[in-house]
Amino acid sequence: MNLKELSQMLGLSQTTISRALNGYPEVNKETRERVLQAARETGYRPNRAAQRLATGKAGSIGLIMPISPDHSSDMHFAEFQSGLAEASIVHDFHFVIMPSRAEDEEQAIRWLVASGSVDGYYLAYVRDRDPRITMAKSLSLPFIVHGRSFGLELDYPFLDVDNEGAFYDATRFLLQLGHQRFALLNGPSDLDFAHRRRLGTEKALAEKGLLLDPRHTRHSFMGDEQGYRGMKEILASADRPTAVLCASTVLALGAVRAMNEVGLKLGTDISLIAHDDELPLLKPENFSIPLTTTRSSLRAAGKRIGERLIAMINQSEPAAPEQELWKVELVVRASTGPAPT
């Protein structure tokens, strides 16, 4: 069954069928359902090249793949990408991925837009007053930001999680358990989410007249080794903290190893709360002492961003920028307990 035969069978134009299958709003619901049912029954799958000609769309989303200093893979990126793929596969979209060092990202985006190979793109790893957002607003292609940028007006489409609220809640909970000395193993200092998580921590501490000790704060790539090394150094100090906040379960994996090495019992001698992106390999309940976490699914964020971006691409009229801020849950498990006396 090809498009022409399907068109004859249904008595609809080939354009209408293409648009129905691609979810264009011009096609009414009844027609769309009739087309989808016929496509299912006849096993028809659209020819992508024909589709592209008919719609003028590439059928693709552009994204930048950040390159870590040691070129190792980043599970956070992989998990987000799997969510994006989940949305893409439904709408028959593919990705154009540009691996890029942080300093070359603006150029990489300009190329993506100029190449004509993508219909839209998403920006992530947002920084303060991020120049890429200003640039994206000046270009003609749909885009969506994963995160927000401190210092810029919020007039762009974004999806973010409430990073400040999450770390405020986590810190407040530890304060209620009597903790006074805190450590924070955070993501890279130039990234917006890390900035907001530190703000949330500092805000909760300030309410009790406490300050976050810069000697007990680390900013790094969110890898297992970084968590281990950071925690090891912090545990070696004379006035070591009794409560630790980690920006990722990956950092926590290393931090827990460092605690085990010096014989500290998690939840008794020292408490830890990690941010849980729901990475499939690092379920907090599978740690030998299950971790208390602030939870928000990175895959769900990827899926939602994919869906919104594809809807923006398929829309003929530009809509007002949609903005979403997801709440984060605090899930209490065994890694937190009263401050040791």
**If we measure between CA atoms, which residue out of 320, 115, 241, 85 comes closest to residue 231?**
241
Q: Which residues lie closer than 8 Å to 198 by C-beta, 6 or more apart?
A: 167, 184, 186, 212, 217
Could you tell me how many residues make up the chain?
341
Using the minimum distance from each CB to its own copies, give the nearer residue, 166 or 298: 298
Report in angstroms how near the CB of residue 49 gets to its own copies at its nearest: 6
Interacting residues with its own copies (CB under 8 A): 45, 48-49, 52, 60, 65, 67-68, 71-75, 77-79, 81-83, 85-86, 88-89, 94-101, 107, 111, 114-115, 117, 223-225, 250, 253, 257, 260, 279-283, 286, 288, 299
Report in angstroms how near the CB of residue 71 gets to its own copies at its nearest: 4
Report in angstroms how near the CB of residue 171 gets to its own copies at its nearest: 27
Taking the C-alpha atoms of residue 135 and residue 130, their distance in angstroms, rounded to an integer, is 9
Report in angstroms how near the CB of residue 48 gets to its own copies at its nearest: 5
User: Residue for token digits 């309410």?
Assistant: 207
Using the minimum distance from each CB to its own copies, give the nearer residue, 86 or 213: 86
Using the minimum distance from each CB to its own copies, give the nearer residue, 17 or 63: 63
Report in angstroms how near the CB of residue 90 gets to its own copies at its nearest: 10
Taking the C-alpha atoms of residue 165 and residue 321, their distance in angstroms, rounded to an integer, is 23
Report in angstroms how near the CB of residue 281 gets to its own copies at its nearest: 5
Using the minimum distance from each CB to its own copies, give the nearer residue, 3 or 212: 3
Using the minimum distance from each CB to its own copies, give the nearer residue, 38 or 97: 97
C-alpha of 93 from chain center:
19
Using the minimum distance from each CB to its own copies, give the nearer residue, 22 or 100: 100
Which contacts (CB < 8 Å, 24+ apart) does range 216-219 have?
Answer: 216/181, 216/182, 216/183, 216/184, 216/241, 217/183, 217/184, 217/186, 218/183, 218/184, 218/185, 218/186, 219/186, 219/187, 219/188, 219/189, 219/194
